Amino acid sequence: MTESRTIRVGVNGYGVIGKRVADAVARQVDMELVGIADVVADWRMHAAVQRGFRVFSPEAGRVAAMRSAGIEVAGDLVDLLEAADVIVDCTPKKVATLNVAAYRCAGRKFILQGGEKHETTGHSFVAEASYAGAVGRECTRVVSCNTTSIVRTLGALKRAGLLKKARGTLLRRATDPWESHFGGIMNTLVPEAKIPSHQGPDAQSVDPELDVVTMAVKVPETLGHLHYWSVQLTRPATKAEVLEALAASSRILLIRMDDGLEAINVVKEWMTDFGRPRGDLYEVAIWEDMLTVQGEEMFFAYMVDNQAIVIPETIDAIRAVTGAERDPAASIRKTNEALEMPLSGARSARRLPNPKP
Contacts with its own copies in 147-186 (CB under 8 A)? 167, 169, 171, 174-175, 177-178, 180-186
Q: What is the total count of residues that contact its own copies (CB under 8 A)?
A: 83
Q: Judge residue 351's burial from the number of C-beta atoms within 10 Å of its C-beta, 0-12 exposed, 13-18 middle, 19 or more buried.
A: exposed
Mode of pairing for the β-strands spanning 139-142 and 124-125: parallel
Figure out which of the listed residues 120, 136, 299, 343 binds its own copies, where binding follows CB under 8 A.
299
Mode of pairing for the β-strands spanning 190-191 and 252-255: unpaired
d(CA 252, CA 344): 9
d(CA 304, CA 311): 12
Taking residues 113 to 132 in sequence order and writing x for each that binds its own copies by CB under 8 A, - otherwise, the string is: --------------------
Q: How far is the CB of 352 from its own copies (least distance, A)?
A: 6
d(CA 9, CA 31): 7
First to last CA, the chain: 31
Residues 6+ away with beta carbon under 8 Å from 337? none
Taking residues 26 to 65 in sequence order and writing x for each that binds its own copies by CB under 8 A, - otherwise, the string is: --------------x-xxx-xxx-xxx-------------
Q: Which one, 32 or 289, has the nearer CB to its own copies?
A: 289
**Residue 112 interacts with its own copies (CB under 8 A): yes or no:** no
Figure out which of the listed residues 215, 243, 248, 346 binds its own copies, where binding follows CB under 8 A.
215
Helix (H, G, I), strand (E, B) or coil at 175: coil
Q: How far is the CB of 127 from its own copies (least distance, A)?
A: 26
Q: Which one, 15 or 323, has the nearer CB to its own copies?
A: 15
Q: Which one, 17 or 71, has the nearer CB to its own copies?
A: 71
Stretch binding its own copies (CB under 8 A), from 89-97, 117-125, 135-143, 295-303: 295-303
**Residue 226 interacts with its own copies (CB under 8 A): yes or no:** yes
Figure out which of the listed residues 207, 244, 259, 327 binds its own copies, where binding follows CB under 8 A.
259
Q: Which one, 136 or 177, has the nearer CB to its own copies?
A: 177
105 is catalytic: no
Q: Please give the angle made by the CA atoms of 331, 202 and 296, to the nearest 5 degrees.
A: 90
Angle between helices 145-159 and 199-206 (to 10 degrees): 60
* Reduced 3-state DSSP string for 291-331: CEEECCEEEEEEEECCCCCHHHHHHHHHHHHHCCCCCHHHH
Figure out which of the listed residues 61, 161, 236, 260 binds its own copies, where binding follows CB under 8 A.
260
Q: Which one, 83 or 219, has the nearer CB to its own copies?
A: 219
Print burial letters for 19-54: b (CB count within 10 Å at least 16), e (below 16). bbbbbbbeebebbebbbbbbbbbeeebeebeeeebb
Stretch binding its own copies (CB under 8 A), from 75-83, 102-110, 112-120, 257-265: 257-265
Using CB under 8 A as the binding rule, the residues of this chain from 5 to 24 that contact its own copies are 19
**Residue 330 interacts with its own copies (CB under 8 A): yes or no:** no
DSSP state of 343: P
Q: How far is the CB of 214 from its own copies (least distance, A)?
A: 9
Q: How far is the CB of 327 from its own copies (least distance, A)?
A: 30
d(CA 348, CA 215): 28
Q: Which one, 138 or 241, has the nearer CB to its own copies?
A: 241
Q: Any idea which residues carry the catalytic annotation?
A: 145
